[in-house]
Structure 1
Amino acid sequence: MGFRIALIAVRGIDADTLYERYGVRRTGQHEEIAESPVCGATVSTGWELLYLNDYPRPHSEALAELSANSELLFCDVNETCMSSFATGWENGVEKWIVFHDAQQSPAHLVTDGEPPDGYVAIRDAKLREQADDDDDVDHVFDVPIDLFASLTGIRYDMELPNSAGKDYEILEPV
């Protein structure tokens, strides 16, 4: 079936402020792999993380609120239909987006705003891989995901950097 997750990484506010703004609270229970509907983690790269599993995605208004007085990066991954999306927010304002939808085409990629440094190199490498690959592998799917990972050190399908195990705290709605 594949992953259907979203990641919200915020820098500039603490975890408790992020959780309060998002409407979740700590349970004190932890897990090694983020399998619960909503988990949180403090990442060694300086980001506070919300990991959402098949959970309602926040709308632009919520991302604007979450990014107040902070920097926010959002990554949405849907392996069932091979779509991926990343966006950057700062102080309540969306700065850029990168979106891939394999249902449009294997090379589909839409951007808006000014994606951060590193985007062009990631995009060009994945487009070359797509052109050179005779298999039905969707390399462009990784462009938004790899961009998010290059900025945060966090990738949805890998351990957190410098993981100590059971890094994810299970969160519940308020």
Structure 2
Amino acid sequence: MGFSIAWIAVQTENHDSIFELLDVNPTSEEDEYFESKLSGSALKNGWFLLVGQGFENRLVQNDVLSELSEFGPTVACSIEEHVMYSSAEYWSSGSKKWTAVHDAQKGRYNLETSGSLPISFESLNARVTKEQDAEGGEKADVDLIFDIPLLLASELTGFKHDEDCESLAQPNPVVFSEKGVATTATTVKRPWWKLW
């Protein structure tokens, strides 16, 4: 079982404007593992994080990201682990500044980029590519290139979906309601250390 999620982070203290734009509201229900339809939290570094189920979630639609980025720098990620697809985008002042996409269906080393990528990209790409080579390249059982877009996003926001998030400004994320409909978790809660 793998993740199929999308997440956004906006660097702003104006959280209410994010909620109004997306037509969502925080609830008092906690969602420790981001298993609800929509959950989120402020981060200690000034970003606000929202995680939605489904890698094509409305959170990562271009028109939404354009509007959100008017409130502050915005990062968006889509993750579909069932086919090893990952993407990261950075938006600012209404426009997309860079994109990095990995789609294993196009090859283990597939990585499509555009825009003005962070300075760290070249060294990150070289390091991870070397690690993929050492694992057996195209024939490896692992897909390390998948992490490159997600690591770029994590450098900015401090969040990566499959790692413990110590940057949360509160103990746990909370469930968000959309258009008055509760979005509680439907999967069985499990301790973080259990893989099943």
TM-score, normalised to structure 1, is 0.93
Q: Which residue of 1 aligns with 2:151?
A: 146
Following superposition of structure 1 onto structure 2, how do residues 124-139 of structure 1 map, counting pairs within 5 Å?
Answer: 124-134=126-136, 135-139=140-144
Q: Which residue of 2 aligns with 1:3?
A: 3
Following superposition of structure 1 onto structure 2, how do residues 64-83 of structure 1 map, counting pairs within 5 Å?
Answer: 64-83=66-85
Moved over 4 A (4+): 162-166
Of the candidates 167, 172, 179, which is equivalent to residue 167 of structure 1? 172
Q: Which residue of 2 aligns with 1:15?
A: 15
| SS across alignment from 1:103 | helix
Q: Which residue of 2 aligns with 1:37?
A: 37
More deviation in 145-154 or 19-28?
19-28
**Highest Rg: 1 or 2?**
2
**Unaligned stretches of 5+ in structure 1?**
none
Identity %: 32
Per-residue deviation, 1:67? 1.0
TM-score, normalised to structure 2, is 0.83
* Contact preservation (8 Å) 2:99, 2:114: yes
Structure with more of its chain in strand, by fraction: 1
Aligned residues: 174
Following superposition of structure 1 onto structure 2, how do residues 63-142 of structure 1 map, counting pairs within 5 Å?
Answer: 63-134=65-136, 135-142=140-147
Instruction: Provide the alpha-carbon RMSD of the alignment.
Output: 1.6
Per-residue deviation, 1:163? 4.8
Instruction: State how far apart, in whole Å, the 2-side matches of 1:165 and 1:63 are.
Output: 25
* Contact preservation (8 Å) 1:13, 1:70: no
Query: In 2 relative to 1, CA 164–48 (structure 1 residues): closer, same or farther, beyond 3 Å?
Result: closer
Cα deviation code 1:96-130 (max 9, x no counterpart): 00000000000000000011121112111111111
Paired residue type of 2:162: D
Per-residue deviation, 1:23? 1.7
